[in-house]
């Protein structure tokens, strides 16, 4: 077929590609896009920083706590940070609309802060324990969770051991 024949056939059939950015484009199910960080759930293990292949995730100690920083310009959306996060503090959305002008490159950042709190047991300044961490590690009741939330790791270990011993003595086998 000659060139004009192919051209006429293609004009009659219409485009075979997405109209983006001039029209809507479909998002495939399960696409890994923009990263979201939930500081309230984070336990500060920094595992996401260790597995981030392009080095897009950074934690830094600040006076007010532990700062989280993710550069979307460096992220390759591999999903390793989400996969290895033990408390689901990092999730990847299906939002892939990350195009931006060069002047806004420093706005493509996901930030968070894990604030310091004073330990209710010893008064030492420490990171607050996330709800997901306490649930995974101690399986506390709501009352126990409120108590564990404001303790440093050393005081938390002591309190959790005391809670486990009290459960055992109560005949619940260590379960709430």
SS3 78: coil
Distance, in Å, from the CA atom of 123 to the CA atom of 88, rounded to the nearest integer, reads: 29
Torsion angles phi and psi, residue 87, rounded to 5: -120, 15
In the block, which residue shows the tokens 């059939």? 13
Residue 42 is assigned to a structural domain of this protein: yes
Q: What is the pLDDT of residue 96?
A: 81
Domain co-membership, 92 together with 33 = yes
Read off the pLDDT of residues 17-45 as tens digits, 9 standing for 90 and up.
777 777 777 778 888 888 999 998 888 88
Q: Does residue 2 lie within any of the structural domains?
A: no
Instruction: Check whether residue 39 and residue 109 sit in a common domain.
Output: yes
159, 85: one domain: no
Same domain, 80 and 143: no
Instruction: Give yes or no for a contact between 78 and 51, defined as CB atoms under 8 angstroms apart.
Output: no
Determine, yes or no, domain membership for 62: yes
Domain assignment of residue 176, yes or no? no
Residue 108 and residue 145 in one domain: no
Count of domains observed in the chain: 2
Q: What is the CATH number of the domain that holds 39?
A: 3.30.70.3270
Residues 132 and 108 in one domain: no
Is residue 107 located within the same domain as residue 125? no
Q: Residue 36's domain spans which residues?
A: 29-96+103-115
pLDDT tens profile 117-176: 888 888 888 877 665 565 655 566 777 777 777 788 888 888 888 888 887 887 755 555
Mean pLDDT, range 67-92, rounded to an integer: 92
Distance CA 55, CA 71 (A): 9
Confidence category of residue 70, pLDDT binned at 50, 70, 90? very high
State the pLDDT at residue 68: 95
Q: Is residue 5 part of a domain?
A: no
Answer yes or no: do 83 and 152 share one domain. Answer: no
d(CA 51, CA 57): 9
- Position 1 confidence tier, pLDDT thresholds 50, 70, 90: low
Tokens of 46: 């920094």
> Smallest Cα–Cα separation from 144: which of 173, 114, 174?
174
The alpha carbon torsion through 144, 121, 90, 101 (nearest 10 deg) reads 140
- Please check whether residue 105 is in contact with residue 98, taking contact to mean a CB–CB distance below 8 angstroms: no
pLDDT at 121: 85
Same domain, 46 and 74: yes
For residue 168, what are its two tokens? 């055992």
DSSP per residue over 81-111, as a string? HHHH-TT--EEE-S-------GGGGGG-EEE
114 pLDDT above the threshold of 60: yes
Provide the token pair at 120. Answer: 């209710």
**Same domain assignment for residues 109 and 153:** no
Asked if residue 20 is part of any domain, the answer here is no
Average pLDDT over residues 56-72: 93
């Amino acid at each position: 077929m000659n060139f004009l024949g192919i051209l006429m056939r293609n004009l009659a059939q219409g485009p075979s590609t997405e109209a983006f950015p001039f029209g809507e484009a479909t998002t495939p199910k399960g696409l890994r896009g923009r990263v979201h960080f939930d500081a309230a759930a984070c336990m500060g293990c920094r595992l996401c920083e260790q597995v981030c292949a392009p080095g897009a995730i950074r934690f830094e100690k600040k006076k007010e706590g532990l700062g989280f920083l993710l550069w979307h310009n460096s992220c390759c959306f591999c999903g390793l940070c989400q996969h290895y996060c033990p408390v689901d503090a990092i999730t990847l959305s299906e939002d892939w609309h990350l195009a931006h002008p060069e002047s806004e490159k420093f706005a493509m950042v996901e930030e968070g802060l894990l604030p310091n709190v004073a330990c209710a047991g010893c008064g030492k300044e420490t990171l607050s324990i996330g709800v997901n961490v306490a649930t995974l590690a101690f399986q506390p009741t709501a009352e126990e969770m409120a108590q564990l939330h404001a303790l440093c790791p050393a005081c938390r270990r002591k309190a959790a051991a005391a809670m486990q011993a009290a459960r055992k003595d109560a005949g619940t086998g260590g379960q709430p």
